[in-house]
Every structure is written in structure tokens, then in C-alpha cells.
Amino acid sequence: MWLNSIIRIILINSLLAITIGFSMPAFAAKNVKNVRVWPSPDSTRVVLDLTQSIEYSYFMLSNPERLVLDIKNTSINAELSNLAQSSDILKNIRSSTKNKSDSRLVFDLTSKIEPIIFALKPTAPYGNRLVIDLVDTEAKVAENQKKMESDRDIIIAIDAGHGGEDPGSIGGKGNYEKRITLAISKKLEALINKQPGLTAVMTRTGDYYISVHGRTEKARNANADLLISIHADAYHTPHPSGAGVWTLSPRRANSEIGKWLEKKEKHSELLGGAGDAIKNTTTEKYLVRTLLDMSMDHSMSQGYLVAKEILGELKDITKLHKRSPQSASFGVLKSPDIPSILVETGFISNPKEEKLLINNWFQNKMANSIFTAVNSYFKRNPPDGSYFAKFKDVKHKVKRGESLSLVAQNYNVTVSKIKEANNLRSNNIKIGQVLSIPQS
């Protein structure tokens, strides 16, 4: 009896071990637990949410166009139907089992694409992910060419920070930075487009991802006179607060000039006719460096002045984190030919400011402050050939016997407009004083 009991125990334990042994591969198998699609005008991003990191390979097929993704030792437990409905590039996503342990995903496409595939490690609120960017190689990016006539619009590129797979910072109440930046950007776009002489171009118009390089390229393709990137700041404690404006740091500027020097095919794009004129000459490198330095200095100088103007408006509607423009190495500010600034609209990590940032009233105030500053700056400093340049302030040197009211009468403008244009607190003016006369 005793021996039989021992044998039974050994048999039961052996069976359990065998059962566990057979079930372990299924238990340890990796899973694609969810699939998300982020369409944009120029590409579509597909994100696979994974239980663990995976091994994968892929290849393309033609007639019809398909991308085939093979995933090793992984099962597909995600719902795939109707995922492609909002994409112009993606027709359908379907899955199959390649063998007992591997899975296959097939992406049916509307045209030839260039796949860019990479893995991402866990970052809150996401775990392991595999990102598949489907870039339409046949799509032509429409360029908003500046009018050559004397009344062209000034182009303002508005960059809503983050988007799609990149939520940006997340507030304590679960609000995403990417949604706040897009909301404020759209309000700013509407204000700019209502102003004769200004046109807004958005780097993204919906909830999709676009690279930092892609953002500056969109601004350049639109021949932008200014790039404004909208963000919401965050810190690991809830205490910091206030809005701020950032410009490119000199160190990053020098680094970017070095990179552009190596891109010979981009010289004409950046420097216009000068780029063609100096091509293939023995002194090309030195000439390009000089011209790029001048272009970068001009862009940084203009960006700083616009940043100061915006801070002057923001102080009337919200607390400022810093009262002067700050410099940093943000990639979106790196273009040597486009004055660029980054506006931090507040701290989403601060409970009070998070509540403000999602408030429609505050978003309108923020957009209006940025617009007022940009509009004022370009009215005083209009680019040559622009609509604003036709109405640039006239300069008047005060002569003996002239009063402010007489000057205003002579130029058919109100005294208050002259005082506003010259920051005058009284009606007193001096002989020899130079006044800016605003044009209606």
C-alpha cells in the first residue's frame, strides 16, 4: 500500500510536469494584443501593441501592392476589421498563421509605398510596440509658392506639437498635450487666415504623427516666413507653472549649419539663386558657410524679436514661467532659412494650468495673444514684396512748430494711432524726433 501510494504520487507529479511543460510555450508565446492606425495626408502609421518585444522580417509584393510582415513566435489577438477605413494608402490588414508558432500580417495597399519599420520600448502609457510607417512614394507634396507680385501673403507655419502615436506630456487628469496643441493651433490658424496679408499653413491638421524633420520640411515647402511650434510644458512635480517662448540655441545653430554644409543638393533650396551660382567652384564651401551663417543669424534674430513680442502679449493673459525668450536645442527650431519659435502654453503637469489648457476660453485667449503679436511684428517689419509692405509705417521727422495733432492731420491718421505706434504716453513731441506713421 505504501509503495503504491508513492508510485501514484510520482505518476501524478510526472503528469503535472508534462502538462506544464507542454503548456509553457503557449503561455510564454508573444501576442499582438492591439493594432492602431494613424492616417495622415502623406503617410499612414500602423502601431502594433505587443505583450513583449518581438523578432520580425518583411518584404514587398506587387500587382497588387502589399507589405508582408512575418512575426516570429507570436500570435495575433487583435481585431483587424475596419482599421484601414480612414487611410488613403491602406486598403486592408489581414492575418494568417505562417507555421505553428509564427504569424503573418498582410497590408493591402492602394499604391507603392516605402515601409519604415522599427520597434519601440515601453513608455507610459504604452508597452512594447512595433511601428510601421507606410510612406506614399508617388505622392507629390503640394507647395504653396509665394506670389512674385508685390502683394504676396506672409506665410505662417503653425506646428501643433506631437500627435498620433506620440501623445506628448500627459496631465494628472489624463489630458494629452497633442490634443491641446492641435486645438490652440487650429484657433490660431483661423485668426491668421482672417487677416488680409497673412496665410497659415498647418504642419499637421489631425491626430497623426509627423517627424521633426517632416515639420520643418512642410514649412519650407510652403515658403514660410515664420514657424511657430505650439507645446505644453511638463515637469516631474506639479509646482512649476507659466507660459514661455523658446528660440534656437547658438550651439544647436552651429551644429545645424555644419550638417547643411554637407547637403550639397540642398544648397540651392536654402540659398536660392546664390546656391546655383556658387556650385562647383573652388571656394564653394566657404561661400556657402558664409551665406548659411548670415541666413541663420537673420532667422535667429527675427525669431527672438517675435518671441519677445509674444511674451509681451502672453503676460496679459497668463503667468510667465520666464519673462524673456529662452534658447534651447529643439529640433523643430533648427531651420537656417526660417525664423522659428516654440511656444510653451503652460504646464500640463500643473493641475491648475492643466484645467486652463483644456478650457476653450483660455485656448482662444492664447491663440489671440500669439496672433496679435505676430500680426504686430510683421506690420512693423514686413518682408519685401508682401501685402503688408505696401502699408509699412512712414517715418516723419518732427519740425519746428509741429504738434502731434498737426502731424496726424497731415497724414490723415488719428493721434491715438501715432501714439500707439510710437509707444507715446503723452501728446508731447520734440524737434528732430522721428515718428512712425501707421498706414490704414
The enclosing domain of 76 has a CATH number of 2.60.40.3500
Give the span between the Cα atoms of 167 and 175, in whole angstroms.
Answer: 9
Please indicate, yes or no, whether residues 291 and 163 belong to a single structural domain of this protein: yes
Is 292 found in the same domain as 348? yes
Which residues are bridge partners to 258 per DSSP? Answer: none
pTM beyond cutoff 0.85:
no
Rg (C-alpha) for the chain, rounded Å, is: 29
Burial class (CB in 10 A: 0-12, 13-18, 19+), 144: middle
Domain count, the chain: 3
- Tens digits of per-residue pLDDT, 124-173? 678 899 989 898 876 644 333 444 445 799 999 999 999 998 999 999 99
Tell me: pLDDT of 247 over 60.
Answer: yes
Looking at the fold, whether 368 and 232 belong to one and the same domain comes out as yes
Residues spanned by the domain of 86:
30-136
> Angle 136-160-296 (CA atoms, 0-180°, nearest 5)?
90
Tens digits of per-residue pLDDT, 325-377?
988 778 787 777 789 899 999 999 999 999 999 999 999 999 999 999 999 99
Are 58 and 192 members of one domain?
A: no
Sign of the CA dihedral 247, 250, 254, 257? positive
Residue 197 lies in a domain: yes
Q: How far is CA 281 from CA 64, 188, 262, 287, 431, in A?
A: 48, 45, 15, 9, 54
Question: Using the 8-state DSSP alphabet, how is residue 81 labeled?
Answer: T
Phi (first) and psi of residue 198, to 5 degrees: -120, 145
CATH label of the domain that carries residue 398:
3.10.350.10
- Give the CA dihedral 60, 62, 66, 72, nearest 10 degrees: -40
Same-domain status, 188 and 213? yes
Q: Are 59 and 118 in a shared domain?
A: yes
Tell me, yes or no, whether 370 and 325 share the same domain.
Answer: yes
Taking 70 as the threshold, does the pLDDT of residue 436 lie above it? yes
Which of 233, 253, 244, 259 is CA-nearest to residue 329? 253
Residue 123 shares a structural domain with residue 218:
no
Instruction: Decide if 149 is inside a domain.
Output: no
Instruction: List, for residues 260-314, the tens digit of each pLDDT value.
Output: 544 544 544 444 444 444 444 445 555 555 555 666 677 888 899 999 999 999 9
SS3 sequence of 134-178 = EEECCCCCCCCCCCCCCCECEEEEEEECCECCECCCECCCCCEHH
Same domain, 216 and 362: yes
Same domain, 70 and 130: yes
